[in-house]
Structure 1
Amino acid sequence: MAEVQIRGDAASYRKITFFIALALFAQESTWNFYDSQVPVLLREHVTSTATVGLLMGMDNLLGIFVQPWIGNRSDNTRTRWGRRMPYLAVGMPLAALLFLLLPWTTSLGALAVVMFLYALVANTVRPLAESMVPDFIPPGRRSRANAAVKIATSLTIIVAALISLLVVDEHPRGAFVVPAAILLLVTVVLIVKVRDSRSAAYRAAVAEDVGAGHDESRVPFRRIVADLVTDRDRRRLLLLLAVFLFGGAWFGFRSLITPYGMEALGLTRGEAGGLALPSGVVFVLAAYPAALCAERFGRLRTIAAGMALFAVAMAAATLVQTVTGTVVVFCVGAVGFAGFSINAAVALWNLAPSSRVLGVYTGLYAVTWYLGGFGGPALIGAMVDLTGWRAMPLDIAVLAVLAVLVVARLGQLQKRHLSASATTTATT
């Protein structure tokens, strides 16, 4: 098989997007199966649900520290394979091996150690494949590529469910082989087909290295963060703030939807857990149109409109508290979430000051999103304690509206920036 040649045409963009989506599909297949089956392994050793939750949350905590670090390290890597592929070629097989060891552990201590090592390695490779989207794909087409990636990762939920349904009961240990085999097979495909040293962003980064000189060829992480915080251009910070706020709203919705269905709608635990299934299908269907809307109407407008639609759907859920009505408005909310999810990371990549820091910006986006996911459920839960379960969707809507206001301010700054740039170009 020949290596991917990035020629700058639509066919080559579709080809590399397929391989990036394939990499993330393989990675997320193990993650989703991990989330569904490792709690069962933990309960073989410990009866405390709090302990199970604490150990299962370890991967998110590690991600906060690991993902920006590996993003920066890969940004500063220069090899004939590129800056992402060397880490993926080693990390993905190692993650598969550690994943295979999970069901064979015989004590809580051994299981916790393997969980930690798997989460460490898997968090290392997670942002690298995603960072190849801005590496290979030009700014105008990144939303389309990100839509394909999001669709691929969404499908892994179905894959994990099918493995659980068809294999786990008969072969509880052997079931772990399937996601691991997918990860190994995709690694081989990536090694043979992809060299990110051929990407436009990598070549631009190398050119910047030459222009900066030897002493400035590496960009320290602390310098990137300091530039982000101290720069008078607040657009990047405002976008991250919007990601944090909307992440809180989204994870508050996802974390509390089952008890909401039980308390506000009178459903059983199983029925309440299935409330979001139709909206998951709607998200997959809405992902690519959300990318096309961004290209047609503007990325920030699409993000703001998506968050606003999500907020309106949550507010409507407070008024229409029947099962059918709730499912319908949740589906509408999924369309709004697609407008945000497909385009927010792309907007941040496009605001990055250099091709040399795209990996770090991918990591910063993930950290901000997960921090919102950490604080959002607690905040929404506290609001539920004050206002009751029936008002929970409205509580979520309030947080989403705050995110919309931040993006509206960002849009004003973007207009000023574009106007100033146009004026400067005209005078020169």
Structure 2
Amino acid sequence: MPDSPPAPSTAPTSAPAAGERMNRSAVLWVALAVFAQEAVWNFYDAQVPEQLRHYFSSAGVIGLVMGLDHSWGIFTQPWVGFYSDGLARRRTGRWPIVLVGAVIAAVPFALIPWATNLPTLLACVVGFAAIANAFKGVTETLISDYVTPGNRSKAQGFIKAGVSLTIVVSSLISLLVVDRSLRLAFAIPPLLMLIMLGLSWAFLGRRHHDAVLPEEQTEEQTEREREFTTPWAVLKDALRSPSSPTLLLMVGIFCFAGMWSALRSLMTPYGTQVLDLTRGEAGGLTLPGAVAFLVCVLPIAYLSNRLGQLRAMRQGVALFIVGLLVGFAWPSVPGTITSMILSSLGYASFAVNALVALWKLAPTHKVLGTYTALYTIASASGMALGPAILGTTIDLTSWRYMLLNAAVFAGITFAVFTRLARRAPDRTAA
């Protein structure tokens, strides 16, 4: 075994073999499954912070609570992801984890607006986050079971397009339902999740044993497979040295996911405090950005194959920063909408490429669920700390400076991807 892992492949995703086509039906149903999951999370991030403002006046404390719920994934996802790898080639696939988790998670989520005191509210928030975080990465890994490696970047474009629709749905619920009936608004997302996951399983999961695409392995991959008897063995192999490209990529994921989560978590209070909007109106500020994400994510996915993954992510971070600076310089509803559009496009470039880049570093395809857990460990850690960090800077300055503070932290992300790109420069197609 070599002393250090190979540098990440930043060349365009290899073209599929002749006659090898992307399983579009599978991509559609996996996209629906991810959509179902993310619809709940987007509404959660948009409205739970405002629910917490009934008990906390500090933005830092609200951000800390919103961040701590994501920390559950750090402890649960490696084990759940590793267990799902063992189920992937069985008749049921990873689906039992997703379906059972969704049913259980729906209960505390729907009870959030019924909580009449802080302990009850925290019990609902923590209960939902603990369960939903456990199976979140497993849902995202489903695409690797049905789509060959050469088509996964394009498939991720379709997946992320579906995710952007969840922001649209969340924003519409905020705009149309929240100010009329908060309890009804919190009941809609988990109901959608259960219905859509059920449809996805009915049309794809029930035929899992027929639809799984086998992948060939080299003798070295087969030999190394025997080393991975626990998720910690996979983690140790991936992060064996401080200069590991996997570690550096995870740092970049941590930073960007943290600031993106912070913006999502604190945008509604920003709208009420700085722009004098109602709670429902402020919850809809992210809608135009979601539409822009939806329109552009597929072209971005195809363009990333030509630019190279690291270059695409680095340029995405730069556009994200520009969007934040525009919003700070133009503190109005049109300015904030413009900011969210630009920032969403920058995040789209990152979102399409980050997980696929980690999958390409996996020593064997049979640990892809665990490598997805590495992605979620990095992103969940960022989501756990990002809102608290940004909220603390708001306490030290004011809500007016939220976008500028976020831009400063996003600059750290840009520096990380710049260093990673220099260590493993992109090799674009001739």
TM bucket by the smaller chain?
A: 0.7 to 0.9
Q: Post-superposition shift, 1:64?
A: 2.2
Which sections of structure 1, spanning at least 5 residues, go unmatched?
A: 1-5, 419-428
Question: What are the Cα deviations for residues 152-184 of structure 1, in whole angstroms up to 9, with x where unaligned?
Answer: 233234446667858996995985655423332
Q: Post-superposition shift, 1:247?
A: 1.9
Q: Post-superposition shift, 1:238?
A: 0.9
Pairing of 1:239-250 with structure 2 (within 5 A): 239-250=249-260
1:95 and 2:102 are equivalent in the alignment: yes
The separation in 2 between residues aligned to 1:171 and 1:386, in whole angstroms, is 34
Q: Post-superposition shift, 1:224?
A: 2.1
1:331 and 2:317 are equivalent in the alignment: no
**Residue of structure 2 in register with 1:426 after alignment:** none
Q: Post-superposition shift, 1:349?
A: 1.4
**Residue of structure 2 in register with 1:86 after alignment:** 93
CA contact (8 A) 2:72 2:133 kept: yes
Question: What are the Cα deviations for residues 236-262 of structure 1, in whole angstroms up to 9, with x where unaligned?
Answer: 111111111112222232233334344
Query: Percent of aligned positions with the same letter in both sequences?
Result: 35
How many aligned positions are there?
403
Pairing of 1:167-246 with structure 2 (within 5 A): 172=184, 177-195=191-209, 198-201=212-215, 204=217, 211=223, 216=226, 218-231=228-241, 234-246=244-256
| Structure 2 CA distance for partners of 1:183 and 1:351, relative to 1, 3 Å | same
Q: Which moved more, 1:340-349 or 1:135-144?
A: 135-144
Q: Post-superposition shift, 1:407?
A: 0.8
| Structure 2 CA distance for partners of 1:407 and 1:33, relative to 1, 3 Å | closer
CA contact (8 A) 2:81 2:372 kept: yes
| Structure 2 CA distance for partners of 1:34 and 1:405, relative to 1, 3 Å | closer
**Residue of structure 2 in register with 1:379 after alignment:** 389
| Structure 2 CA distance for partners of 1:57 and 1:395, relative to 1, 3 Å | closer
Normalising by structure 1, we get a TM-score of 0.77
Q: What amino acid sits opposite 2:358 in the alignment?
A: L
**Residue of structure 2 in register with 1:365 after alignment:** 375
**Per the alignment, in what secondary structure is the counterpart of residue 343 of structure 1?**
helix
**Per the alignment, in what secondary structure is the counterpart of residue 425 of structure 2?**
helix
Q: Hey, which of these two has a bigger chunk of helix by percent? A: 1
Higher relative contact order (CA 8 A, sep 6+): 2
The separation in 1 between residues aligned to 2:28 and 2:245, in whole angstroms, is 31
The separation in 2 between residues aligned to 1:284 and 1:325, in whole angstroms, is 20
| Structure 2 CA distance for partners of 1:26 and 1:252, relative to 1, 3 Å | closer
The separation in 2 between residues aligned to 1:8 and 1:411, in whole angstroms, is 31
**Residue of structure 2 in register with 1:316 after alignment:** 326
| Structure 2 CA distance for partners of 1:8 and 1:26, relative to 1, 3 Å | farther
The separation in 2 between residues aligned to 1:74 and 1:229, in whole angstroms, is 21
| Structure 2 CA distance for partners of 1:221 and 1:97, relative to 1, 3 Å | closer
CA contact (8 A) 1:148 1:288 kept: yes
**Residue of structure 1 in register with 2:292 after alignment:** 282
Which one has a bigger Cα radius of gyration?
A: 1
**Per the alignment, in what secondary structure is the counterpart of residue 384 of structure 1?**
helix
The separation in 2 between residues aligned to 1:170 and 1:256, in whole angstroms, is 19
* Residue of structure 1 aligned with 2:82, choices 47, 59, 72: 72
1:252 and 2:252 are equivalent in the alignment: no
**Residue of structure 2 in register with 1:423 after alignment:** none
Q: Post-superposition shift, 1:338?
A: 0.9
CA contact (8 A) 1:23 1:186 kept: yes
CA contact (8 A) 2:68 2:385 kept: no
**Residue of structure 2 in register with 1:123 after alignment:** 133
The separation in 2 between residues aligned to 1:303 and 1:114, in whole angstroms, is 35
**Residue of structure 1 in register with 2:423 after alignment:** 413
* Residue of structure 1 aligned with 2:405, choices 395, 400, 412: 395
The separation in 2 between residues aligned to 1:190 and 1:117, in whole angstroms, is 29
Q: What amino acid sits opposite 1:345 in the alignment?
A: L
Q: Which moved more, 1:390-399 or 1:142-151?
A: 390-399
The separation in 1 between residues aligned to 2:284 and 2:379, in whole angstroms, is 24
Q: What amino acid sits opposite 1:407 in the alignment?
A: F
| Structure 2 CA distance for partners of 1:288 and 1:371, relative to 1, 3 Å | same
The separation in 2 between residues aligned to 1:354 and 1:249, in whole angstroms, is 31
| Structure 2 CA distance for partners of 1:160 and 1:275, relative to 1, 3 Å | closer
**Per the alignment, in what secondary structure is the counterpart of residue 363 of structure 2?**
coil
The separation in 2 between residues aligned to 1:390 and 1:101, in whole angstroms, is 34
Q: What amino acid sits opposite 1:204 in the alignment?
A: Q
CA contact (8 A) 2:88 2:145 kept: no
CA contact (8 A) 1:96 1:184 kept: no
Which sections of structure 2, spanning at least 5 residues, go unmatched?
A: 1-15
| Structure 2 CA distance for partners of 1:386 and 1:119, relative to 1, 3 Å | closer
